[in-house]
Amino acid sequence: MQIGILYSRIRKDEKLLLGELRERGHEVAKIDVRKERFGLESTTADVADLDIVVDRCLSTSRSLYATKFLDSYGVPVVNSPETGDICADKAKNSLALARADIPTPATEVAFTKEAAMEAIEEFGYPCVLKPVVGSWGRLMAKIDTRNAAEAILEHKETLGHYEHKVFYIQEFVDKPGRDVRALAVDGEPVAAMTRSSDHWLTNAAKGGETKSFDLDDRALDLVERASEAVGGGMLGVDLMEVGGTDSGEYTVHEVNHTVEFKALDAASEVDVPAKVVDWLEAKAAAAADGEAAEAHT
Ligand SMILES: Nc1ncnc2c1ncn2[C@@H]1O[C@H](COP(=O)(O)OP(=O)(O)O)[C@@H](O)[C@H]1O
Ligand SMILES: [Mg+2]
């Protein structure tokens, strides 16, 4: 099978994936998005014959455009540009979750600091302000007082670029010092872990301590539905436990589309790259079947 990896930097995650693909004897085409040019009809790289391309771009804008172009050439690509579009933006992400009746933290978006201030005062303190585009816990603010709110909003409005002028305000969820990250492929869970920290941001990238976690039925159902809500693919679903670790109640705060899995692979007993490659093989085979069926009609 010929599998393309669209990347800008080969991190540990990509190494794990490449190692597993090569071990299974697949031909891998590494496509460096920084060197690539995408025309309206074709690309400079020889991607047309690839069975599937996996988008592993670090940069959201590159990821969104490159997958869109590949998709338009008829190359099977994961994740799809549609899924990327929703997951890359926290506002679209929240809307998709809410429309699918998935519990998600109360959220409002406002476009001026006055309107944002009104929302913040209504949520009360603490509440959370997030950039609509971003990851690894960057530029997130837990707002404890009105003074802090005013300062942050003024800084964002004055110094922030375009995306930071969309104020995404969220209720603060009193989670039990950890949150849950589940990796799923088309809704099927691969593995899950908790990320614990004394800090309110528990991201592994922020130093959150990771530990394997068994998803209960409720969490399994939410992961499956959250995946479907954003159009499926290989996704990292982030959940917070509401009302303590034994409550069995969750709220889903986001679904990630170019998901890292090295921390999960290290924390869990599951061979994460093997499961991901199983899924890629199945996806590529299904895409080939679909093409063959189309050729017959
Ligand atoms: N509304 C919230 N209440 C409490 N903690 C939150 C809330 N939203 C996010 N967090 C914490 O911040 C971390 C990062 O938030 P998240 O929305 O996942 O952004 P990122 O895309 O940067 O990972 C989460 O893993 C969680 O620990
Ligand atoms: Mg997150």
Domains and CATH numbers, the chain: 2-78 (3.40.50.20), 82-102+174-260 (3.30.470.20), 106-171 (3.30.1490.20)
Average pLDDT over residues 70-88: 97
Q: Beta 250-256 vs 234-241: how paired, if at all? A: antiparallel
Residue 297 has what pLDDT?
Answer: 66
Taking the model in full, what pTM does it have?
A: 0.96
**DSSP code of 134?**
-
Q: Rounded to the nearest 5°, which phi and psi values hold at 119?
A: -65, -45
- Say how far apart CA 192 and CA 15 lie, in whole Å: 20
Strands (E), 63-166: 77-78, 107-110, 127-130, 141-143
CB atoms within 10 A of CB 48: 11
Q: Are 181 and 193 in contact (CB under 8 A)?
A: yes
Distance 289 CA to ligand 2 centre (A): 35
Q: Beta 127-130 vs 167-171: how paired, if at all? A: antiparallel
Ligand 1 binding pocket, CB closer than 6 Å? 105, 128, 130, 134-137, 140, 170-173, 175, 179, 200-203, 238, 253-254
Residue 48 has what pLDDT?
Answer: 86
- Is the previous residue joined to 256 through a cis bond, with omega within 30 degrees of 0? no
Write down the residue that tokens 């109640």 correspond to.
Answer: 249
- Say how far apart CA 116 and CA 139 lie, in whole Å: 17
Closest ligand 1 atom to Cα of 202: 27
Ligand 1 pocket test target in 238, 251, 260 with most atoms within 8 Å of CB? 238
- Say how far apart CA 248 and CA 214 lie, in whole Å: 12
Instruction: State yes or no: pLDDT of 36 exceeds 90.
Output: yes
Residue 279: both structure tokens together: 């899924």
> What confidence category does residue 8 fall into, taking pLDDT thresholds of 50, 70 and 90?
very high
Residue 225 has what pLDDT?
Answer: 98
Distance 133 CA to ligand 1 centre (A): 13
Residue 73: both structure tokens together: 């050439």
Summarize pLDDT for 202-223 with one digit per residue, the tens: 988 888 999 999 999 999 999 9
Residue 289: both structure tokens together: 């079947």
Residue 252 has what pLDDT?
Answer: 98
Distance 167 CA to ligand 1 centre (A): 15
Residue 10 has what pLDDT?
Answer: 96
Ligand 1 pocket test target in 108, 140, 239 with most atoms within 8 Å of CB? 140
